[in-house]
């Protein structure tokens, strides 16, 4: 009798364990399905945000700085110039009209409207030495006769001292008065790279670009 009771007890415990295991598996399946759904929703949301971030000519965007209207854009240029041990890659160019907000007009010399030219750059030191190179302090000229220096406040830091095999990437901004619609060609003038003793490692760069 005791043996029969023991066998019944073992069978009941086994059934209980199987039931719990089944419930656990069901919960796991539900959790995985829920996670999968959340992942899909996040991917869809990321795609939508990515689409919103993409710009096309004629797009208008506003922020606290003012109203930007994209006029011309050339993506994926990826033109690389070697200057001594330095490699400079122009990744893309963009021109836009800016109408500054009242709070930021002083920053733009009180102008109601001006043109912003954005040049995407990537600079890389291919040597183990320290090299000085300043593409973010370039001079820009246009087909309309403008000649301006890069705006160091608005630009990202793409230049400076490169300690060994290092790289920097960002956007360099130029402000001009000529309407963006009239600007078809630009030229970047950049001082060549130099070593720690300020000895030249490369000639001055003159790089023509077109929208």
Query: Where along the chain do its domains lie?
Result: 1-54, 60-210
- Residue 182's alpha-carbon distances to 111, 148, 149, 177, 185, in angstroms, are 18, 16, 19, 11, 9
pLDDT of residue 160: 97
Q: How much of the chain, in percent, has pLDDT values that exceed 70? A: 73
Say whether pLDDT at 29 is over 70. no
Mean pLDDT of 132-141: 98
Q: How much of the chain, in percent, has pLDDT values that exceed 90? A: 72
Q: Which helix (H) or strand (E) holds 100?
A: strand 86-100
Say whether pLDDT at 31 is over 90. no
pTM over 0.75: no
**What CA–CA distance (Å, rounded) separates 159 from 88?**
10
pLDDT of residue 39: 55
Where do we find the tokens 């199987």? 18
Which residues, including other chains, have CB under 8 Å from residue 144's CB and lie 6 or more apart? 176, 178, 182, 183
**What CA–CA distance (Å, rounded) separates 59 from 188?**
26
pLDDT of residue 58: 81
Residue pair 111/166 in contact by the 8 Å Cβ criterion: no
Question: Per-residue pLDDT tens for 53-83?
Answer: 456 678 999 999 999 999 999 999 999 999 9
What is 60-210's CATH number? 2.60.40.4170
- Residue 12's alpha-carbon distances to 2, 3, 16, 26, 92, in angstroms, are 15, 14, 6, 21, 72
């Amino acid at each position: 009798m005791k043996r029969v009771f023991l066998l019944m007890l073992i069978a009941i415990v086994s059934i209980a364990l199987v039931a719990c295991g089944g419930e656990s598996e069901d919960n796991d399946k539900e959790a995985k399905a829920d996670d999968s759904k959340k992942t899909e929703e996040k991917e869809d949301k990321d795609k939508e945000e990515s689409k919103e971030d993409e710009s096309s000519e004629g797009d208008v965007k506003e922020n606290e700085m003012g109203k930007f209207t994209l006029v011309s854009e050339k993506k994926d240029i990826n033109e690389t110039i070697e200057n001594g041990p330095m490699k400079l890659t122009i990744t893309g160019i963009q021109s836009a009209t800016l109408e500054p907000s009242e709070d930021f007009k002083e920053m733009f010399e009180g102008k109601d409207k001006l043109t912003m030219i954005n040049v995407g750059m990537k600079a890389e030191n291919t040597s183990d030495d320290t090299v000085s190179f300043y593409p973010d302090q370039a001079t820009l000229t246009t087909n309309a006769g403008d000649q301006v220096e890069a705006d160091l406040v608005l630009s990202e830091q793409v230049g400076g001292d490169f300690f060994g095999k290092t790289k920097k990437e960002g956007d360099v901004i130029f402000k001009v008065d000529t309407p963006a619609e009239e600007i078809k060609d630009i030229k970047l003038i950049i001082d060549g790279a130099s070593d720690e003793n300020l000895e030249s490692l490369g000639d001055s760069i003159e790089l023509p670009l077109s929208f």
